[in-house]
Amino acid sequence: MKSYRVLLYYIYSPIENPDQYREEHHLLCLRLNLLGRVIVAAEGLNGTVSGLAADCEAYMAALHADPRFAGIDFKVDDAEGHTFQKLHVRVKNEIVHSDLPVDPLRQTGIHLDPEEFQKLKNDPDVVLVDMRSNYEHAVGRFKNAVTFDMENLRDLPDHVHEIDHLKDKKIITYCTGGIKCEKASAYLLAQGFENVYQLHGGIIKYGMEVGGDDFDGQCYVFDNRVTVDVNTVNPTIVSTCFRCGSPSSRMINCASPTCNNHVVICETCGHDYSGTCTDACLEDPAIRPYDGTGYYGKLTQTYSPLQGFKSRSGQRVTLEK
């Protein structure tokens, strides 16, 4: 078994003082040598972190011991090492940026666990609706799902009219880990859709628990793995190389920092074109060295995991487990 873990989670649960809790949470991550991204907001908590198995277990136990976060449903995956290069714990207005005028604690779609979703997804009266960004569903999506050409969840109001004719159907929303669907499904209900469901735990949990059948391609993730396999039952490839058009589900960031597009590039073209998506990008004088992964972390020379941490006591922080 691999020695590292990746944890994906969220919870909508009121946090009275987000700034104070951000400092407490940052210190917890430092003590456990975790890296990743955590968002703290008055409405709850959202994070993806990586670390050694024992440290991840301690982290989950610490959050579950807090009554506000006892209901967190962690998605746990194995990894060869850290899937992040840095630790960032930030306070934001929302735990997933949407600007949608809804409150998931008051109303949201009916949650379906992976087994329930698996049984219902092929019902002729059901429509699956992908709530992720266009570059995410370009590399993988559920068979016959409706997708929107949107950059992020903020754009949903501009696209919801595309499914107005489906208001008599059972709508099941899905996303990577479930968090976008909490607000997206609530928004659909507010727009007059009556039978709205959501895949609880998202694509990741569906793959882990029931094998991911009928998820075509790979699932985009927000760490240095870029995409992960989900379907172990009937896997297929739905995307093609941006350069040569051959079937591929290998997504990278263009090596041109000016471009930096999320784009599917096969291994051969990645090597032949130094990880770029166009010849113009290949001529970029600031092109980044292509190492075969297509993942480029920001420069870390001045980075310290203590960045952004402020001890309220003003005393030096000792990181002891």
CB-facing half-sphere around the CA of 297: CA atoms within 13 A: 15
Give strand ranges (E) for the chain: 4-12, 35-41, 44-52, 75-79, 87-91, 110-112, 126-130, 140-142, 170-174, 196-199, 215-217, 219-220, 227-228, 251-253, 262-264
Q: In this structure, how many other beta carbons lie within 10 angstroms of the beta carbon of residue 60?
A: 17
- Please identify which residue in the block is written with the tokens 């059948």: 213
| Cα first-last separation, the chain | 24
The answer to whether 177 and 205 have CB atoms below 8 angstroms apart is: yes
**Catalytic residue annotation:** 175
